[in-house]
Amino acid sequence: MSDFDKKKQYLLKEIGLNSTGKIDASPKGTIDELCMPLICLINSHHDMVTTSSCSGRLSVFVEGRKEAVTDTNGANRDQIKIGAKGDGGHWLFVSHEKNEIRDWWKREDISLIYRLDPEERIYDSKTRYILFKYEPLILHVKCRDFKSASRLYSTAMGCGFRESGIGANNNVAIRISIKLDIPIGYLDVDDNLVCVVGEDYLKMATKLAHDRFLENERKMEVLYNKIKDEVVNYVEKEERKETKEERKERKIREGLARRAEVRKQKEEKKRLKQLEVEKSTDKEDTLKEEKDLVAT
């Protein structure tokens, strides 16, 4: 068994466990149900296996602490981790389901303090922002070779997943650029969740995220059909080996066809020869008639 086949066998076992409840890296803890048809389709291909996935999600989270580090000159500076959870970062809300996102800010476990007055605020490199993010489908696929990776990549690009790419070891990342990334507040010195926009703005942002959920699902359906037609079924047509019985039947058909062609050629040759004989006989008869006329 090749290294790729061993890796695929291991990953498929993990996916099987995960789909029934094994914890993964996301806060939800399981593979997204919306991804499963696409994952199963790709994994049915002999030369491909999915390594990670996210069907798309809305998340609201607080950035982690931004640590002070020493630069090459010995001076202290802030290590900025833009948009990262990092140390102390945490989700306030996360959902992979479009029907769960309405009025997310009214949940009992989320306590936002609204500060909409125009008082002067100081934002610096240590400010920990509250970020509202919609992230569309991302799917990572390990391929056996560059040929299969290139076909999958080209198919994804062809149906609008323009952020896709091929990385090291023939790993394909399938991505689309319909994300949404908005700062809506910050964590103050007393660890209060301060929101600097009103509920109308939160409703508008959530509606934009909902629209992206719908577009993401539509694009996933397009991607599924394209991969099915141009990757999975294409390979089956190109590389499927005939069985012994099919080969035997093909040889019989080819033999019968050759014999029929030989017989046809012989019959045609015989017909042409007969025509030559008839022409020769007609010519002799004509000459004889001419001689008889001259003699009379």
95 burial via Cβ count (<10 Å: 0-12, 13-18, 19+)? middle
What is the domain count for the chain? 2
145 and 258 share a domain? no
- Domain span including residue 144: 3-66+80-231
Q: How far apart are CA 93 and CA 58, in angstroms?
A: 8
| Assigned token pair, 66 | 């931004």
At residue 144, the 3 state secondary structure works out as: coil
Q: How far apart are CA 254 and CA 258, in angstroms?
A: 6
Domain end residue (candidates: 175, 200, 231): 231
Tell me, yes or no, whether 73 lies in a domain.
no
Residue 75 covered by a domain: no
Flag whether 14 is in a domain. yes
What are the structure tokens assigned to 244, written together?
A: 């012994």
Q: What pLDDT does 211 receive? A: 98
- Token pair, residue 117, equals 């007055």
Q: Please, are residues 92 and 177 in contact by the beta-carbon 8 Å criterion? A: no
249 alpha-carbon distance from chain centroid? 39
Of the three residues 208, 231, 254, the one that is the final residue of a domain is 231
Q: Which of 231, 256, 274 is the last residue of a domain?
A: 231
Please report, in tens digits, the pLDDT of each residue of the chain (296 residues total).
Answer: 899 999 999 999 888 755 543 434 555 557 888 999 999 999 999 999 999 999 999 999 999 987 655 555 655 555 555 555 567 889 999 999 999 999 999 999 999 999 988 677 778 888 999 999 999 999 999 999 999 999 999 999 999 999 999 999 999 999 999 999 999 999 998 999 999 999 999 999 999 999 999 999 999 999 999 999 999 998 555 556 778 888 888 899 889 988 998 998 988 888 888 888 777 777 777 777 667 666 66
CATH code of the domain in which 123 resides:
3.30.1960.10
- Integer Cα distance of 19 and 43 in angstroms: 14
DSSP 243: P
Three-state DSSP at 59 gives strand
71 within a domain of the structure (yes/no): no
Residues 206 and 99 placed together within one structural domain of the fold: yes
**Cβ atoms of residues 97 and 54 within 8 Å:** no
Residue 206: name the closest of 60, 92, 91 by CA: 60
Residue corresponding to tokens 């991607």: 223
Contacts of 285 (CB under 8 A, 6+ apart): none
For residues 78 and 128, give the distance between their C-alpha atoms in angstroms, rounded to a whole number: 12
Could you tell me if 92 and 47 lie in one domain? yes
